[in-house]
Every structure is written in C-alpha cells, then in structure tokens.
Chain A
C-alpha cells in the first residue's frame, strides 16, 4: 500500500503549481464539512435539550410527584403543590374507558370514607368530552374533585400509558405508589392509602 502511494507520489507533475489548482476544491470540501458538522451539532443539541426536559419531568428518577394545576368541571382550580401535608390519590380516567367504570364506585366509596382523614382524591379526565364526562360523574355519583386534563399535560408529566392509572402521593409530595391498571378491591386501595396517610 505504501509502495503504491510512493509510486504515485514519485510521478512528476506537469503544469501549474499543484497548490493553485487544488485550493478551491479544498475550500469547497471544508465548507461542506462545516455545514454537515454544524447540522450534526445542532441535531445533537436538540437531542440533549429534549433528553434533559424528559429527565426533569420523569418523576420516577426523583420520586417527586410532578406539580400540576387543573380546573374541575364545576370551575374550581386545584394546584397539587397546595395539597402538601395531605395524602393525594390521583386517578386518571375517561368516560370511554370500561375499566374506569368498574373502579369508579370503589374510588367514590373510599373518598367518602377518607375525606375526613386528610386524604384528597383527584380525578383527571383524559382525552374526553365534557358532556360524556359529566354524564359519567353523574352516573357513578363521583363527588371528589374531577376535571379535564387539558392537552394531557399532567398525563404526559406522569407518563401514563393509558387509563385507568392511579398515583398515590404522600404528604411530602413524593409518589409512594402507583397502579397502572384498574383497582380491583377495597383492600388493595386501602393498602395504598395507608402508605400516604399523614401521621
């Protein structure tokens, strides 16, 4: 290989100076290289920023429940940070979701039982229509604070993959437990609530 290179290198060049003819081509290559490297840097930059944002919102890393604000169907504004010191049961639901219907009564009964014990129940309606959601709340007699999760903002923060999903947030604002499926029994729900009960 080196022999070949030396061979070509030994051929005498005829005509104008080599540097004069090759320089513009080199400049073009350098500009292209700069453009491509620049684009790669910008792309990697976007990836890094995106990754950082994802990490910040990923409560699984820190355990801290992502803060959110929502307005209930009856017009009350609720801010999760204001509920520090209380245990929070956060349920994501939708009127079109059959398993949500199956657990709705269980949640309302638990709320009736726990509302005097510094436990707050919140229902976030995921990708739903207000008419259908209101009918659902009426059908199951839901009385705890429920409202639409506008543009799925909280759902994204909590990284939900579907409904129903329930998160149990302790008085210190950390997620003590979560259930990525339908609640099946009162005992199961009570077990989770006990973990977030203020001392």
Chain B
C-alpha cells in the first residue's frame, strides 16, 4: 500500500501533536525533579550573625552568640552556617539549639507552662506597687473633710476647754528644752 504525500504529512502532524506535549511534560518533569535539589549558595558571615544575634552563649552569662569569642561559640556559628546552607530557617535553628542546650540559649524563659510566671509576675508586681502608691498617695493628699474636721467652736470656749492640755503641753515641751 502506497501512502500519498498528503497522508505522510497527516501522519507527521499526528506524531507531532502527540510527541510535542509529551516532550514538554518530560522537560517539565525534569525541571520539577531538579527544583528540590538545594542549591549550595555560600552562606555569608552576616547571615550567620543575624541568627547568632538571636542566641546566647551557653557557657558565658549575658554574651550573645555573635559577640562571643569562645571556641564553643565559634563551633555553634559554624553549625548555624551548615544549617542555613541546608535550608533551615531561624525558627528551625533556634529549635535545634534549644533541644541541644536548653532554653537558656534563648536568653529568656520560654513562653510556655510554668515559665509564664516569669513573664507575668514582674508586671503584676509593678501594677500592684503602682496601685499601692496611688492609694497611699490619695490618702495622704486628699484628707477627707467631715468626721475628722474640727467643729467650728468659738475661740474662747475652745481655749477654755483646751487650757489644761495646752498648759500640760507647754510643761512637757519645757522639759525637753
């Protein structure tokens, strides 16, 4: 059976229609397969220090990891570099160091469970102190009139009533002179 040129052309067209998308799918599959491969971008010192600034030296007190010159801290910074190169983010790196060294590496108590007390208590105490001061201040500044105020009594009557006391007070004061 002989095929005409038009038949050949039709056949080529069919092959092209089926093969080209398959080819595209294949290329796409290759690209998607290539995407997850982590690209080994070099991690800079600055990138490491951004993370290191969020952590504290577990051996010193009050020294941030980026500023610590101990060999142990240098190793920790190297570990951060390795983790960044592997694609870990800040939270993942922090979680790793907390698991290894404990929460003290964060420089603050974790906001969970019993540790909430450390976060809340200072504010509670501050508030209680402020409230106490306000109440005491009010008591000192604004003396309530009325029951404690002296009645308006004539000066002669008052002086007559108070005379023995005044005399006694003067005697007492003289003793101190």
Binding site for B on A (CB under 8 A): 3-4, 7, 10-11, 14-16, 20-21, 25, 28, 32, 35, 94-96, 127-129, 131-132, 148, 150-152
What are 5 A-B pairs at a CB distance below 8 A? A21-B148, A129-B78, A131-B75, A131-B78, A150-B100
| Complex Cα–Cα for A96 and B75 (A) | 8
Interface size class of B (residues with CB under 8 A): 20 to 34
Are B82 and A131 closer than 8 Å at their CB atoms? Answer: yes
Are A96 and B165 closer than 8 Å at their CB atoms? Answer: no
Are B75 and A151 closer than 8 Å at their CB atoms? Answer: no
Binding site for A on B (CB under 8 A): 58-59, 70-72, 74-76, 78-79, 82, 99-102, 128, 132, 135, 139, 146-151, 165, 168-169, 172
Prevailing SS type, chain A contact patch: helix
A57 → B minimal CB distance (Å): 15
Prevailing SS type, chain B contact patch: helix
A residues less than 8 Å from B148 (CB atoms): 15, 21
| Complex Cα–Cα for A28 and B139 (A) | 12
Are A7 and B165 closer than 8 Å at their CB atoms? Answer: yes
Are B135 and A7 closer than 8 Å at their CB atoms? Answer: no
| Complex Cα–Cα for A25 and B78 (A) | 64
| Complex Cα–Cα for A40 and B74 (A) | 44
A residues less than 8 Å from B168 (CB atoms): 7
Residue of A nearest to B175 (CB): A3
> Contacting A35 at CB < 8 Å: which of B79, B128, B146, B172?
B128
Are B101 and A152 closer than 8 Å at their CB atoms? Answer: yes
Are B147 and A127 closer than 8 Å at their CB atoms? Answer: no
* Given A11-B165, A15-B149, 8 new contacts (CB under 8 A): A3-B172, A4-B172, A15-B147, A96-B71, A127-B59, A129-B76, A131-B78, A151-B100
Are B135 and A28 closer than 8 Å at their CB atoms? Answer: yes
Knowing A152-B101, A152-B102, the reply to whether A10 touches B72 (Cβ < 8 A) is: no
